[in-house]
Amino acid sequence: MEVERVFIGAGCNRVVNNVSWGASGLVSFGAQNAVAIFCPKTAQILTTLPGHKASVNCTLWLPNSKFAFKAKQLEQHFCFLEMRKV
């Protein structure tokens, strides 16, 4: 049996500064307890990155990398992620 991804959906958390546009042209935003990666060119969510224990309140692409960003949950916790281009 072959499984094909047809659609990924995610809603943006209602927090100011929750969305960040990266140098790669991709957009990251908090989607409940995950980070969603959105491609404006195709108008699609490429993936969601689950694993946070609380709501993701802020995402920010790092200026020195096209594919690295940090996500903030609550007031004190940061998660630095680097995506690999496949």
Residue 79: per-residue pLDDT: 55
Reported as a single tens digit per residue, the pLDDT across 54-82 is: 888 888 887 776 666 666 554 555 555 55
Parent domain of 64: 19-82
Its pTM surpasses 0.95: no
Secondary structure (H, E, C), 49-85: ECCCCCCEEEEEECCCCCCEEEEEECCCEEEEEECCC
Q: Does the residue 68 lie in any domain?
A: yes
Q: Does the residue 11 lie in any domain?
A: no
The answer to whether the CB of 53 falls within 8 A of the CB of 12 is no
Q: Does the residue 56 lie in any domain?
A: yes
Q: Does the residue 12 lie in any domain?
A: no
Number of domains composing the chain: 1
Residue 86: per-residue pLDDT: 47
Residue 83: per-residue pLDDT: 58
Mean pLDDT within 1-7? 80
Q: Does the residue 65 lie in any domain?
A: yes
Reported as a single tens digit per residue, the pLDDT across 13-52 is: 787 778 888 888 888 898 888 889 888 999 998 888 888 8
Q: Does the residue 10 lie in any domain?
A: no
Q: Does the residue 43 lie in any domain?
A: yes
Q: Which amino acid is at 74?
A: L
Q: Does the residue 9 lie in any domain?
A: no
